[in-house]
Chain A
Amino acid sequence: MDSGLSSLGGGGGGGSGGGSSTNESVTTVSKVEVVEQMSTEASSYPGEAELELGLGLSLGTGGGGGGLVKPKQPSSAWGEYGRILTAKDFPSVLSNASSTTPRFSNSSAGPVSGTKRAADSAVSQEVGSATAASQVVGWPPIRAYRMNSLVNQAKALAAEDDKADSENDKFKDTLKKKPYTGSNKNNSTVKEKGHLGFVKVNMDGLPIGRKVDLDAHACYETLAQTLEDMFFRHNTTMPPIRSDVEKGQSTNPSKLLDGSSEFVLTYEDKDGDWMLVGDVPWGMFLSTVKRLRIMRTSEANGLGM
Chain B
Amino acid sequence: MNYFPDEVLEHVFDFLTSHRDRNAVSLVCKSWFKVEKWSRHRVFVGNCYAISPERLIARFPRVRALTLKGKPHFADFNLVPHDWGGFVYPWIEAMAKSNIGLEELRLKRMVVSNEGLELLARSFVNFKSLVLISCEGFTTDGLAAVAANCRFLRELDLQENEVEDRKGQWLSCFPDSCTSLVSLNFACLKGEVNLTALERLVARCPNLKSLRLNRAVPLDALQRILMLAPQLEDLGTGSYVHDPDTETYNKLISTFQKCRSIRSMSGFLEVSPLCLPAIYPICSNLTSLNLSYAPGIHGDELIKLIHHCRKLQRLWILDCIGDKGLGVVASTCKELQELRVFPSDPFGVGNAAVTEKGLVAISFGCPKLHSLLYFCQQVTNAALITVAKNCPNFTRFRLCILDATKADPVTMQPLDEGFGAIVQSCKDLRRLSLSGLLTDRVFLYIGMYAEQLEMLSIAFAGDSDKGMLYVLNGCKKLRKLEIRDSPFGNEALLTDVGKYETMRSLWMSSCEVTLGGCKVLAEKMPRINVEIINEYDQMEFGFDDRQKVDKMFLYRTLVGPRKDAPHFVWTL
Residues of A within 8 A of B (CB): 42-47, 50-51, 91, 94-95, 97, 101-106, 108-109, 119, 122-123, 125-126, 134, 136-150, 153-154, 156-157, 270-271
Say yes or no: A119 contacts B78, CB within 8 Å.
no
* C-alpha gap A157/B297 in the complex (Å): 12
* C-alpha gap A148/B459 in the complex (Å): 22
Say yes or no: B349 contacts A109, CB within 8 Å.
yes
Say yes or no: B346 contacts A150, CB within 8 Å.
yes
* C-alpha gap A28/B457 in the complex (Å): 50
**Given A145-B160, A154-B295, 13 more pairs with CB closer than 8 A:** A44-B296, A44-B298, A94-B77, A101-B347, A119-B345, A123-B347, A126-B347, A134-B403, A138-B74, A139-B77, A144-B77, A146-B293, A148-B162
* C-alpha gap A240/B457 in the complex (Å): 62
Residues of A within 8 A of B342 (CB): 142, 146
Verify if B5 is at the interface (C-beta below 8 Å from A): no
Residues of B within 8 A of A106 (CB): 349-350
Say yes or no: B76 contacts A45, CB within 8 Å.
no
Q: Can you identify 18 A-B contacts, CB atoms within 8 angstroms?
A: A45-B344, A47-B351, A94-B78, A97-B536, A125-B347, A136-B485, A137-B77, A138-B74, A139-B77, A141-B400, A142-B343, A145-B134, A145-B160, A145-B161, A146-B293, A146-B342, A153-B269, A270-B243
Say yes or no: B318 contacts A137, CB within 8 Å.
no
Say yes or no: B345 contacts A42, CB within 8 Å.
no
Residues of B within 8 A of A (CB): 74, 76-79, 81, 134, 160-162, 188, 243, 269-270, 292-293, 295-298, 318, 320, 342-351, 353, 375, 400, 402-405, 433, 457, 459, 484-485, 536
Say yes or no: A150 contacts B344, CB within 8 Å.
yes
Which residue in chain A gives the minimum CB-CB distance to B273?
A: A42
Known interface pairs A140-B400, A150-B344, A157-B296; A47-B78 also in contact (CB < 8 Å): no
Known interface pairs A50-B349, A105-B350; A44-B344 also in contact (CB < 8 Å): yes
- Grouping DSSP codes into helix (H, G, I), strand (E, B) and loop, the A interface class, with mixed when no group exceeds half, is loop
Say yes or no: A45 contacts B348, CB within 8 Å.
yes
Min CB–CB distance B164 → chain A (angstroms): 12
Min CB–CB distance A87 → chain B (angstroms): 9
* C-alpha gap A141/B292 in the complex (Å): 15
Say yes or no: A122 contacts B160, CB within 8 Å.
no
Residues of B within 8 A of A145 (CB): 134, 160-162, 188
* C-alpha gap A147/B292 in the complex (Å): 11
Of listed A142, A145, A147, A148, residue having the most chain B CB within 10 A: A145
Residues of A within 8 A of B433 (CB): 141
Which residue in chain B gives the minimum CB-CB distance to A100?
A: B347
Of listed A106, A138, A153, residue having the most chain B CB within 10 A: A138
Known interface pairs A143-B160, A145-B188; A95-B78 also in contact (CB < 8 Å): yes
Say yes or no: B78 contacts A138, CB within 8 Å.
yes
Residues of A within 8 A of B485 (CB): 136
Cβ 8 A contact of A153, one of B74, B77, B295, B402: B295
Say yes or no: B347 contacts A146, CB within 8 Å.
no
Known interface pairs A122-B349, A150-B346; A157-B295 also in contact (CB < 8 Å): yes
* C-alpha gap A146/B345 in the complex (Å): 12
Which residue in chain A gives the minimum CB-CB distance to B270?
A: A156
Say yes or no: A142 contacts B344, CB within 8 Å.
no
* C-alpha gap A145/B188 in the complex (Å): 9
Residues of A within 8 A of B81 (CB): 95
Residues of B within 8 A of A150 (CB): 295, 344, 346
Which residue in chain A gives the minimum CB-CB distance to B81?
A: A95
Which residue in chain A gives the minimum CB-CB distance to B348?
A: A47
Residues of A within 8 A of B161 (CB): 145
Which residue in chain A gives the minimum CB-CB distance to B159?
A: A145
Residues of A within 8 A of B270 (CB): 153, 156
Min CB–CB distance B349 → chain A (angstroms): 3
Residues of A within 8 A of B74 (CB): 138
Known interface pairs A42-B298, A141-B459; A91-B346 also in contact (CB < 8 Å): no
Say yes or no: B402 contacts A140, CB within 8 Å.
yes
Known interface pairs A97-B536, A150-B295; A143-B403 also in contact (CB < 8 Å): no
Min CB–CB distance B346 → chain A (angstroms): 5
* C-alpha gap A146/B269 in the complex (Å): 12
* C-alpha gap A137/B320 in the complex (Å): 24
* C-alpha gap A51/B297 in the complex (Å): 21
* C-alpha gap A44/B270 in the complex (Å): 12
Min CB–CB distance B461 → chain A (angstroms): 13
* C-alpha gap A35/B515 in the complex (Å): 57
Known interface pairs A91-B78, A144-B77; A51-B349 also in contact (CB < 8 Å): yes
Say yes or no: A46 contacts B348, CB within 8 Å.
yes
Min CB–CB distance A85 → chain B (angstroms): 12
Say yes or no: B375 contacts A140, CB within 8 Å.
yes
Say yes or no: B349 contacts A141, CB within 8 Å.
no
* C-alpha gap A143/B270 in the complex (Å): 20
Say yes or no: A137 contacts B78, CB within 8 Å.
yes
Min CB–CB distance A118 → chain B (angstroms): 9
* C-alpha gap A140/B435 in the complex (Å): 10
Say yes or no: A139 contacts B404, CB within 8 Å.
yes
* C-alpha gap A149/B299 in the complex (Å): 19
Of all A-B residue pairs in the complex, the 6 with the closest CB atoms, nearest first, are A47-B349, A138-B77, A44-B295, A145-B160, A104-B349, A94-B78
